[in-house]
A and B are shown apart, each in its own frame.
Chain A
Amino acid sequence: MYAFQKIRSFLFYLSVFLFFIGLPFILSFALGYKFNTHTLKFVKTGLIFVKTQPAGAKIYLNGKLIAERSPASMQELLPGAYKVTLELAQHYPWKGQVEVEAGKVSRVDKVILFPVRPNLQQLNQEKFSSFRIDTEKKVVYYLDQEKKVVYRSNLDANNFEDIASLPDKFSQVNGWEVSLDKRKLFIFNHHQISVIFFDTQIDYEYSATAVFLDYPQEKIIDVFWHSDSYHLVVLTDKHVQVIESRLGALPINLVELNKGGSAAFYDTKEDALYFSDSQRSPDGSFYNNLYKLELSANLYLLERLIAQPFGAVKPAPKEWPDE
C-alpha cells in the first residue's frame, strides 16, 4: 500500500510539474509567440495559412521550399512581407506577396490552381453550327445547319447519335432551344418557327413530325419554351406572344410593344418573361423600361410590372383565336 502511494504521489507531482511547465509553451505557441534562444525572450510572430484547390501544392516562402504541401500553415513567422509561390504539376503556379502581422493569421485560402492544357478535351466529332449544354441530363446537343441535322452526345464525348433532321425549307436558323421535357426543339428565323420532335427509338422521317408556325407580318426576335414544353413564348418586333406548338395554332398577343428590338430573358423556373420596351415621357423623350411578365398561372394577364414610371405598358386586346 505504501509503495503504491509513493508511486502515486510521484505521478501526481510529475503531472503538476508537466502541467505548469507545458502550459506556458502551449499558450505561447497558441498566441503566436516564439522563444528566441539567442535573446532568451519571447517574440510575437504571425502565421500564414495556405489552402489550394486542388490540394498538395508545393509551397515556396521567399523562394525557399517548405516541407509541407498545401493545405499547410507556416508558423512562427516574424512580422513582415513574404513572397509565397504555390506550385503543382500540370497547373499554373500562384504567386503573391503576403503581409504577416504579429499574433495574426494571414490566410491564402482561396487559391485555385488552374490546370494547364491536358484537361482540355474536344467533345465534337463532326462539324456543327451551334450547341446547347444540358447539365441536368449531362448531354450536349449539336446543330449542323449545313447538313440540317441535330445530334447529341454525353459530356464525355461518347454516345453520339442523330436525333433530328431540320426541315429542308428552313434555310436559315437564327436560334433554337431544346424543350424542358427533352423531347423536341424549336428553330426559328425571322418569319418562321418550326418545332421538331426527337425520335431516337425508331428511324423514320423526322420532318414528318415537324410543326411550322409562320409569322409573315412580324419579325421574330427571340423564342422561349414555356415550362410545360408545349407553349412557345415569342418576342417579335411588335408583340410578346404565346403560341401552342401544334400545327395551325394561332398566337395570342400578350403585350403590344412600342418599338422593335426589345431584349428579353425567360425564367423557366418561374415562367416569367423579362423584357425591355421604351416609353415616351411627358417631355417627349423615350426611356427604356424593364418589365416582368408572369406566365405561370394566367397567360393573358399582364401584372406586376417591375417599373412603369412613365405610364403603364399597354396590354394587347384579347383576341381569342377561333376554336
Chain B
Amino acid sequence: MNKALFLKRILEIIPGGLSWSIIVLLILLSFLHPVSSAIIIISFDFYWIIRTVYLTTLLVMAHSRLFRQRNEDWLARCLSLSSDLGFSELYQVVIFPVYNEGLEVLRPSLAALSGSHYPQEKIIAVMAFEERNIYAHDNALILEEEFSGRFGTYLSTFHPDGLPGESRTKGANATWSAKAVRKFLDTRGIAYEQVVISCFDADTCVDKEYFGCLSYHFLTSEKRHQASYQPMPVYNNNIWQAPSFARLVEISSSFCQMIESMRLEKFVTFSSHSMSFKTLVQIDYWPTNMISDDSVIYWKGYLYYNGDYRVIPLYVTVSLDVAYSSNIWRTMVVQYKQKRRWAWGVENFPFVVNGFIKNKNISLFNKLRRSFHLLESHVTWAVWAVILVVIGPLPILFGGTFFSQMAIAYNLPKITGLLFKFTLLTSLTWIFLSWTILPPRPKGISWFKNVILILEWIFVPFIILIIGSAPAIDAQTRLMLAKYMEFNPTLKGNKVL
C-alpha cells in the first residue's frame, strides 16, 4: 500500500471508527461504570436540548427570511441593477442529470423551468441522459418536441457508460453534460463569466422567482465566481400524496437545510444548486467518481480558491419529490437508502482533509475548523439517536443493585424526561412551520388530511429509531471497511403540480 492510499484509508476509517468507539465505549461504560455513563448521558441530553432550541431558533429565522424573500420581484430588482456585469448579458444553464427517471418526472421539471419569471431566451436547458438507459433517446425526442421552443436553447446530452476513471454517478453525467455546454458556449462565443450553471435533480421544480433571485445574488455578490448558490429544497411535489412517514422525514430534511443556511461557516451545497460556469470549468467540473457530487463541488471550489469560497443561501424554494413506495415497509427501505446515500457524504472527509494537507495557502485554523465541523456533523448524525434511544436506558437496566440505590440512578430518567418534555415545545414550532410551507391542498384530497399532517408528528420518535442514526452508521461503516457505495437514485412518487 503506497503512502497516499494508506492516508486515504486512515481518513476513511476515522469517522466510522470514532462513531463506533463512542457507541461501544458508552455501552461498555453502562455495564462497567454506570455512574460515569449516566453522567455522560445527562450531559449529552442537556447538550442536545440546548442544541435543539438553538437550531429551532435558527429555523424560525430562516423561515422568516424565506417568507419575506420568496415573494420579492427579483427580476425587477435585477433590471434596476447597475453592475460590472449587466443582467442582459447573463445566461442561465440548467442541467437535469437523468438516471432512469421517466417522462412523468421530467415533464413537470421542464414545465416549471419554462414557467419561470425570467427571460426564457437566456435559459439554456439541458437534459442530461445516460446512454445506457434504453429509453433515453426516445424520451429525449419527446421532450425536445415538447419543450425545445420554450427556452433560448434546449439540449439533450447522452453520457456514455464506462468511461475510464468514472463511476456510475450523477456527477459523471453532469460533468459530461457541462462539457457539452462548454462546447456550445464556445461556438456561440459566450464568455463563461456570463454564465450561471444550475445542476438540478431530475425531479426539481423551480420556484418562478428562482432565477431572478439567483441572478440578483450573482450580480450583486462580491467575488461572485467564488460562491455557490443554494436554494431551499422543499419536497412539495407530491407531499399531499406521500405517506406520513416519508413526509415527516422530508419536511425534517427541508428544515435541516434551512437551519444550515443560517450557519454560513458550515454551509455546504446540497442537492440542486447553482454556481458560476467559469468556476465550474476552473475546478474541473463535478467529481466523476463520487456519489456526493453536490457537496464535493463546494469543497473543490473551497480548495481551489484557498478557502475563499462560500455558499450563498437563496431564500427561494426548489421543490422535489418525496421518496416513497407502495407500502410503509418499502417506503422505510426507500427512505433508509436515500438517507444512507446522503450520509455517504462522509466520503467528503477524506477528500477534504487530503486536500487540506496538499494546500499550503489555507490557514491551519480554517483547516482544523472545517475538518472538525465536517467530522463532528457526521459523527453526531451517527451517534445521537443511539445515545438518546438505545444507550440512555442502559445504566438503569444493567447498572445493577448498587447503582439502582444511587441518587443519580433515580434522577437519570427524571431529568431526561423533564428535559425532553421541554423539547416538545420546540416540536410545536416545527409542526407549525411545517404547516406553513405546505403547497395548497390539491383537489380530491380531503380537508381531514390537514389534521393528519399535524397528528402525524407523534410518529417522530419512531422515525428517529428507524432513520435517526442507522443510515449514517451504515454509510460510515461501509467507508471504514472500504465497501464503497454505488449511486442508486431514490424511487420517487408521482408529482401533483
Residues of A bordering B, CB below 8 Å: 4-5, 7-8, 11-12, 15, 18-19, 22-23, 26-27, 29-32, 45-47, 49, 73, 75, 103-105
Residues of B within 8 A of A26 (CB): 42, 46, 415
Q: Please name 15 pairs of A and B residues whose Cβ atoms are closer than 8 Å in the assembled complex, sorted by A.
A: A7-B61, A15-B54, A19-B46, A27-B42, A29-B411, A30-B38, A30-B412, A30-B415, A32-B411, A47-B410, A49-B410, A75-B407, A103-B407, A103-B408, A105-B406
The contact of A30 among B53, B54, B408, by CB within 8 Å, is B408
Docked complex Cα distance between A5 and B266 (Å) = 12
| A30 close to B407 (CB less than 8 A) | yes
Q: Chain A: interface secondary structure?
A: helix
| B46 close to A31 (CB less than 8 A) | no
Which residues between 29 and 88 of chain B lie within 8 Å of chain A, taking CB atoms? 38-39, 42-43, 46-47, 50-51, 53-54, 57-58, 61, 65
Docked complex Cα distance between A5 and B62 (Å) = 11
Given contacts A4-B61, A4-B65, 7 further A-B contacts (CB under 8 A): A8-B262, A11-B54, A18-B50, A30-B407, A32-B408, A104-B407, A105-B406
Q: Chain B: interface secondary structure?
A: helix
Known: A15-B51, A23-B46. A105 touches B57 (CB 8 A): no
Known: A11-B54, A11-B58, A15-B51. A105 touches B42 (CB 8 A): no
Docked complex Cα distance between A104 and B264 (Å) = 47
A-B contact count (CB 8 A): 68
Asked if B263 is at the interface of the complex by the 8 Å CB criterion, the answer is yes
Query: Contact size class for B?
Result: 20 to 34
| B58 close to A8 (CB less than 8 A) | yes
Known: A11-B58, A19-B46, A23-B43. A73 touches B410 (CB 8 A): yes
Which residues between 162 and 201 of chain B lie within 8 Å of chain A, taking CB atoms? none
Residues of B within 8 A of A46 (CB): 407
| A30 close to B61 (CB less than 8 A) | no
Chain A CB count within 10 A is highest, among B46, B51, B409, B411, for B411
Which residues between 399 and 447 of chain B lie within 8 Å of chain A, taking CB atoms? 404-412, 415
| A104 close to B405 (CB less than 8 A) | yes
Residues of B within 8 A of A47 (CB): 407, 410
The contact of A8 among B42, B53, B263, by CB within 8 Å, is B263
| B405 close to A105 (CB less than 8 A) | yes
Docked complex Cα distance between A4 and B65 (Å) = 10
Docked complex Cα distance between A30 and B403 (Å) = 13
Docked complex Cα distance between A281 and B38 (Å) = 63
| B405 close to A4 (CB less than 8 A) | no
Residues of B within 8 A of A105 (CB): 404-407, 409-410
